[in-house]
């Protein structure tokens, strides 16, 4: 038996229940691992509420790190005792789990389990957004919404290390300092200030080359007004609700803009690409371009409390659960 957090129906944080379940031996191509750290992500909230599809009951969580305890038939790349990390199928909020070996990477010795647990989903998201979706270069003007959040801070750090001029929006003064510290040259309190107006002032009317928007409904369509002609609107999440359907002609009116709605899971579907992205991320961490310290760690049984705080905009940075 292993302890897990399970949801039996969609709903608020209270549907996350601590339970004991049987863990079968790993199947062919699977690895069984004991978690040392489990990444908490906003996507876990979408799954819990039913905003993103999931078959109930389910164990939330797409990201974690731990130690291999058994391997299934045909698994050659991993063996018991290996330190590993993953982004992959649901099942993360657990003491131990089975997962496809294709989702795992070896965790470098110099990385802690906590780093491993936030590096995969959040770190690889920052990687593909900055390096594969819009390739950020020196001098680019970049706007990052929710710049003190988990993914937000990584975007600010890495984009500024790449030489971009980063502006971040945040929900409070305390978060403003955090986003500054993460590399945002300018920070906008978007609950109090008109962020389009502030972006115009900050960029002296030149506007941004790219907007990274994980906030969604609350910042749309204003995010488009922050873009220079031919700029790229990257809508990668919807913490405030989904972006509504809109007339594509809006992109022409706002300056021949590009818009994309990418997902990490498309990028990592090809194992070679997944490995290349992970190598690039590990390089950036080793060069000091990214700081993957966790902001807070909670026992697994407090998952509901963590979800409530995440939805109430009370968290900053990356959070892990520990079994």
Question: Diameter of the chain by CA atoms?
Answer: 61
Q: Does 123 bind ligand NDP (CB under 6 A)?
A: no
Interaction residues for ligand NDP, span 64-103 (CB under 6 A): none
CB of 51 to ligand NDP, least distance (A): 10
Q: Which of 31, 114, 142, 148: binder of ligand NDP (CB under 6 A)?
A: 148
Tracing tokens 């990052």 back to the chain, one arrives at 144
35 or 122: CB nearest ligand NDP: 122
CB of 29 to ligand NDP, least distance (A): 25
Total residues at interface with ligand NDP (CB under 6 A): 30
Name the helix (H) or strand (E) containing 230.
strand 227-235
Q: Which of 13, 88, 123, 237: binder of ligand NDP (CB under 6 A)?
A: 237
CB of 153 to ligand NDP, least distance (A): 8
Question: What is the C-alpha R_g of the chain?
Answer: 20
3-state secondary structure of 201: helix
DSSP assignment letter at 285: H
Distance CA 131, CA 223 (A): 21
Task: From 108-116, 143-151, 193-201, 279-287, give the range in contact with ligand NDP by CB under 6 A.
Answer: 143-151
- Per-position DSSP letters for 298-320, written without gaps between them: EEGGGHHHHHHHHHTT---S-EE
66 or 147: CB nearest ligand NDP: 147
User: How far, rounded to the nearest angstrom, does the alpha carbon of residue 186 sit from its chain's CA centroid?
Assistant: 22
**How many alpha carbons lie under 13 Å from residue 256 in its C-beta half-sphere?**
2
Q: Does 146 bind ligand NDP (CB under 6 A)?
A: yes
Residues in contact with ligand NDP, shown as a per-residue x/- string from 243 to 272 under the rule CB under 6 A = -------------------xxx--------
**How many alpha carbons lie under 13 Å from residue 283 in its C-beta half-sphere?**
8
Distance CA 317, CA 151 (A): 7
Q: Does 150 bind ligand NDP (CB under 6 A)?
A: yes
Tracing tokens 């008109």 back to the chain, one arrives at 194
Q: Which of 21, 54, 102, 218: binder of ligand NDP (CB under 6 A)?
A: 218
**Strand bridging mode 319-322 / 296-299:** parallel
Q: Does 38 bind ligand NDP (CB under 6 A)?
A: no
- Which residues contact ligand NDP (rule: CB under 6 A)? 41-43, 121-122, 125, 146, 148-152, 170-171, 175, 214-215, 218, 236-240, 262-264, 310-311, 313, 315
């Amino acid at each position: 038996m292993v302890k897990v957090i399970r949801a039996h129906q969609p709903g608020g944080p209270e549907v996350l229940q601590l339970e004991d379940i049987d863990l079968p031996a790993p199947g062919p191509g699977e690895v069984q691992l004991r978690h040392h750290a489990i990444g908490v992500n906003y996507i876990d909230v979408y799954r819990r509420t039913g905003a993103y599809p999931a078959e109930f009951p389910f164990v939330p969580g797409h990201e974690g790190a731990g130690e291999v305890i058994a391997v299934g038939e045909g698994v050659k790349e991993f063996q018991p005792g290996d330190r590993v990390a993953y982004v992959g199928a649901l099942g993360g909020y657990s003491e131990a789990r089975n997962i496809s070996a294709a989702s795992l990477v070896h965790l470098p010795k110099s990385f802690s389990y906590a780093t491993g647990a936030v590096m995969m989903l959040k770190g690889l998201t920052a990687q593909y957004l900055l390096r594969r979706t819009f390739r950020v270069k020196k001098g680019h003007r970049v706007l990052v919404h929710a710049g003190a959040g988990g993914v937000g801070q990584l975007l600010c750090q890495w984009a500024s290390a790449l030489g971009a001029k980063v502006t971040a929006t945040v929900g409070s003064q305390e978060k403003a300092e955090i986003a500054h510290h993460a590399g945002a040259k300018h920070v906008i309190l978007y609950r109090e200030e008109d962020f389009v107006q502030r972006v115009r002032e900050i960029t002296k009317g030149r506007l941004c080359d790219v907007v990274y928007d994980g906030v969604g409904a609350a910042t749309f369509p204003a995010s488009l007004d922050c873009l220079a002609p031919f700029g790229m609107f990257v809508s990668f999440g919807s913490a405030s609700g989904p972006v509504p359907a809109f007339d594509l002609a809006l992109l022409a009116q706002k300056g021949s803009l590009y818009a994309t709605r990418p997902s990490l899971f498309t990028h990592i579907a090809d194992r070679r690409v997944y490995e290349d992205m992970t190598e690039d991320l590990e390089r950036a961490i080793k060069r000091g371009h990214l700081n993957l310290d966790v902001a807070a760690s909670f026992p697994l049984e407090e998952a509901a409390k963590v979800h409530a705080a995440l939805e109430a905009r009370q968290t900053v940075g990356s959070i892990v659960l520990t079994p």
